[in-house]
Amino acid sequence: DQQVKQNSPSLSVQEGRISILNCDYTNSMFDYFLWYKKYPAEGPTFLISISSIKDKNEDGRFTVFLNKSAKHLSLHIVPSQPGDSAVYFCAASEYGNKLVFGAGTILRVKS
Amino acid sequence: EPEVTQTPSHQVTQMGQEVILRCVPISNHLYFYWYRQILGQKVEFLVSFYNNEISEKSEIFDDQFSVERPDGSNFTLKIRSTKLEDSAMYFCASRRETGKNEQFFGPGTRLTVL
């Protein structure tokens, strides 16, 4: 099941710079997209979401962009902090149903 | 801030035994879910539950699995006869309302089947 793909297994960024995490999807019926952050041995923590009727949603240092024609979304973290180091999962859903997750991207923010 | 809780944090069992994983969703949430993550793999959906019945289940959720909301606060996942391949992290999640599908996850139960 490759409906949601995160093609970069890892990303390393300097503290204070921008982190950009990418996600692609194939199911055009997805209408809601979310980003989760996960530390080892913990559950996914909700970060930010976006509905398919929008192309941008911002919450503090986190911004999610949605490009429906390209079936692509991205999460921008500005400025990146060492505490942001974690695994980031992209997830999508159709009509409020189950979440379909990507494989995750490990973000390392170096101080 | 309200959060989803899960017990136990780690469960070790012998193959063929029954296990019950417990979850307490956020109190005003209406929709409940179980997901699992096998080591090195994606988080995958098992089952969703709303209005005291299963609303959707995956192919993984076969007759060995069942869910129950025995009272107003707990939500349980039972595996009747565990197999080695059931070893995984099991996450409970809940959400409040329709429209926004923001699901909040518990810390997980690590199930080890020997």
Please judge whether B101 and A49 are an interchain contact, meaning their C-beta atoms are less than 8 angstroms apart.
Answer: yes
Q: Is the confidence at residue A1, as pLDDT, over 70?
A: no
Q: CA–CA distance from B84 to each of A47, B18, B58, B114 (Å)?
A: 33, 13, 19, 6
Collect all residues of chain A within an 8 Å Cβ-Cβ radius of residue B33: 98-99
Q: Omega into A79 within 30° of 0, i.e. cis?
A: yes
Please judge whether A43 and B4 are an interchain contact, meaning their C-beta atoms are less than 8 angstroms apart.
Answer: yes
Q: Residues with Cβ < 8 Å from A15, sequence gap 6 or more?
A: A79, A80, A81, A82, A109, A110, A111
Q: CA–CA distance from B102 to each of A22, B27, B98, B105 (Å)?
A: 19, 15, 9, 10
Q: What is the pLDDT of residue B99?
A: 65
Q: Is the confidence at residue B100, as pLDDT, over 80?
A: no
Mind listing the pLDDT tens digit for each residue in B37-87? 999 899 999 999 998 999 999 999 999 999 999 887 899 999 999 999 999
* B-interface mutation test, from A98, A100, A105, A106, most B Cβ less than 10 A away: A98
Place of tokens 């986190």: A62
Distance, in angstroms, between A104 CA and closest chain B CA?
8
Q: CA–CA distance from B73 to each of A44, B48, B63, B67, B81 (Å)?
A: 21, 16, 24, 14, 26
Mind listing the pLDDT tens digit for each residue in A23-46? 999 999 999 999 999 998 899 999
Q: Is the confidence at residue A79, as pLDDT, over 90?
A: yes
For every residue of B45-93, DSSP letters joined together read EEEEEETTEEEEE-TT--TTEEEE--SSS-EEEEESS--GGG-EEEEEE
Of A89, A97, A102, the CB nearest to B56: A97
Collect all residues of chain A within an 8 Å Cβ-Cβ radius of residue B1: none
Q: What is the pLDDT of residue A97?
A: 86
Residue A82 is given by DSSP the state: G
Please judge whether A102 and B42 are an interchain contact, meaning their C-beta atoms are less than 8 angstroms apart.
Answer: yes
Q: What is the mean pLDDT of residues A99-103?
A: 97
